[in-house]
């Protein structure tokens, strides 16, 4: 059976405590149902965007949201399929029972859904039968040579056995998830889709083994912000004979960062009574709430200012602002051109 090599450091213990404390705040904060649904939708979009972006998918966060919403965009079919596929993966994970026995069948189904219509059918949901290398396609430099295909079935069986063992279940979900992510990436059991499968399996472990935070959480966002660091820490574990301590410090730090982001948003939404009482049942998204906060400080907001503070395109800003006007939250001043701005409608 696989036996991970790592030690608990003060940093790991501190980060685990921080993440758990933030989770408790999120779970116990009272939120309007409409806001919960909106935060879940935004997390789904962020999660799908960042996990596919890490692997080179060029679609922006906004474009991923449009694809998920069923809107047509000008993009390669493969890029859109990767988005649809990952949404299917997350829905599949959500459909599993709590504390499931994680089987090879579950893992292979996650991979099949991840690469459906992107890889040939005989590769989707099947271990590779060829040798592969990991490297930089632009330079041709090989950075890692995974185990040979003949080793993959036994290595994966050992990982799955460990995942369901008392040794694994005695660890906190974040540690289980980090170890599993690394080992699957190291084995590289598939021709393609290994990174997305590893991150999806980590999500499964977190959400189904006691670390669920109402599906507000996008695990991949932190890692996508600095992809070279993500790959570097993975590679360092290989160079250190599989010592996962540094990798786990990095992985759990990412969890702590992301859950802290969610905590701040939830605290703001649950504690700001004036927003909650006046607009709670309307179901404002976090961008719109950010715009209202800006309006309180500045008194007015333009389309350009909305773009800047929410990091969206002009068309998205226009749509969000018009939605707020339609809901009678804002009032438009001016009729056309750059002279238009918006003020609170109370």
Q: What CATH number does residue 305 fall under? A: 1.10.10.10
Bridge partners (DSSP) listed for residue 134: 144
The structure tokens 């608990």 sit at 8
* Predicted local confidence at residue 23, as pLDDT: 93
25 and 47 co-located in one domain: yes
Grouping H, G, I as helix, E, B as strand and the rest as coil, residue 342 is strand
* Predicted local confidence at residue 281, as pLDDT: 56
The structure tokens 């271990």 sit at 127
Q: What is the pTM of this model?
A: 0.81
126 and 198 co-located in one domain: yes
* Predicted local confidence at residue 176, as pLDDT: 97
* Predicted local confidence at residue 231, as pLDDT: 86
Grouping H, G, I as helix, E, B as strand and the rest as coil, residue 276 is helix
Q: Which residues contact 316 (CB under 8 A, 6 or more apart)?
A: 62, 307, 310
Token pair of 268 as six digits: 């703001």
Number of structural domains the chain divides into: 2
Q: Name the phi and psi angles at 331, rounded to 5.
A: -125, 130
Give the residue from 71, 94, 68 showing the smallest Cα distance to 82.
68
Bridge partners (DSSP) listed for residue 333: 341
Residue 2 maps to a domain = no
The boundaries of the domain holding residue 85 are 10-270
Residue 127 maps to a domain = yes
Please say whether the beta carbons of 237 and 246 come within 8 A.
yes
Query: Angle at Cα 205 formed by Cα 200 and Cα 207, nearest 5°?
Result: 90
* Predicted local confidence at residue 10, as pLDDT: 98
294 and 260 co-located in one domain: no
Cα distances from 180 to residues 4, 31, 248, in angstroms, run 9, 33, 11
212 and 316 co-located in one domain: no
Positions marked catalytic:
188
Domain boundary among 211, 246, 270: 270
Residue 157 maps to a domain = yes
Give the residue from 282, 279, 304, 281 showing the smallest Cα distance to 292.
279
Q: How far apart are CA 247 and CA 231, in angstroms?
A: 10
DSSP string, 188-234: --SSS-HHHHHHHHHHHHHHHTT---TT---TTHHHHHTHHHHHHHH
Give me the tens of pLDDT residue by residue for the chain, a chain 346 residues long: 899 999 999 999 999 999 999 999 998 887 777 778 888 998 999 999 999 999 999 999 999 999 999 999 999 999 999 999 999 999 999 999 998 899 999 999 999 999 999 999 999 999 999 999 887 666 777 878 899 999 999 999 999 999 999 999 999 999 999 999 999 999 999 999 999 999 999 999 999 998 988 889 888 999 998 888 898 888 888 778 789 999 999 999 999 999 999 998 888 777 665 665 666 556 677 788 788 778 877 889 999 999 998 888 999 999 999 988 988 889 999 877 678 999 987 6
- For residue 71, what is the domain's CATH number? 1.10.3290.10
Q: How far apart are CA 283 and CA 100, in angstroms?
A: 33
Alpha helices in 69-102 (DSSP H): 77-95
* Predicted local confidence at residue 142, as pLDDT: 80
Query: Angle at Cα 273 formed by Cα 271 and Cα 274, nearest 5°?
Result: 135
């Amino acid at each position: 059976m696989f036996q991970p090599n790592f030690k608990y450091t003060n940093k790991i213990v501190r980060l685990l405590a921080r993440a758990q404390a933030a989770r408790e705040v999120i779970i116990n904060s009272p939120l309007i149902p409409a806001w919960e649904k909106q935060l879940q939708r935004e997390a789904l979009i962020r999660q799908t965007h960042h996990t596919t972006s890490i692997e080179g998918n060029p679609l922006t966060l906004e474009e991923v949201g449009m694809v998920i919403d069923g809107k047509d965009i000008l993009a390669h079919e493969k890029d859109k399929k990767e988005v649809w596929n990952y949404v299917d993966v997350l829905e599949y994970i959500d459909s599993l029972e709590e504390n499931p026995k994680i089987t090879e069948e579950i893992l292979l189904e996650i991979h099949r859904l991840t690469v459906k219509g992107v890889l040939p059918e005989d590769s989707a949901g099947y271990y590779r039968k060829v040798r592969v290398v990991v490297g930089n396609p632009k330079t041709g430099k090989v950075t890692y040579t995974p185990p040979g295909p003949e080793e993959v079935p036994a290595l994966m069986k050992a990982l799955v056995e460990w995942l369901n063992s008392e040794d694994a279940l005695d660890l906190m979900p974040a540690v289980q998830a980090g170890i599993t992510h690394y080992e699957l990436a190291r084995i590289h059991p598939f021709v393609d889709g290994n990174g997305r499968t590893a991150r999806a399996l980590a999500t499964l472990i977190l959400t189904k083994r006691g670390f669920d935070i109402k599906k507000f959480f996008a695990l991949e966002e932190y890692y996508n912000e600095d992809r070279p660091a993500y790959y570097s820490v993975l590679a360092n574990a290989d160079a250190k004979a599989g010592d996962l301590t540094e990798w786990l410090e990095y992985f759990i730090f990412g969890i702590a960062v992301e859950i802290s982001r969610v905590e701040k948003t939830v605290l703001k939404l649950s504690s700001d009574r004036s927003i909650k009482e006046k607009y709670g049942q309307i179901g404002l998204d976090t961008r719109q709430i950010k715009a209202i906060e800006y309006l309180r400080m500045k008194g007015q907001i333009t389309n350009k200012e909305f773009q800047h503070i929410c990091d969206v395109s002009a068309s998205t800003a226009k749509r969000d602002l018009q939605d707020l006007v339609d809901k009678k939250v804002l009032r438009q001043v001016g009729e056309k051109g750059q002279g238009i701005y918006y003020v609170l409608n109370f």
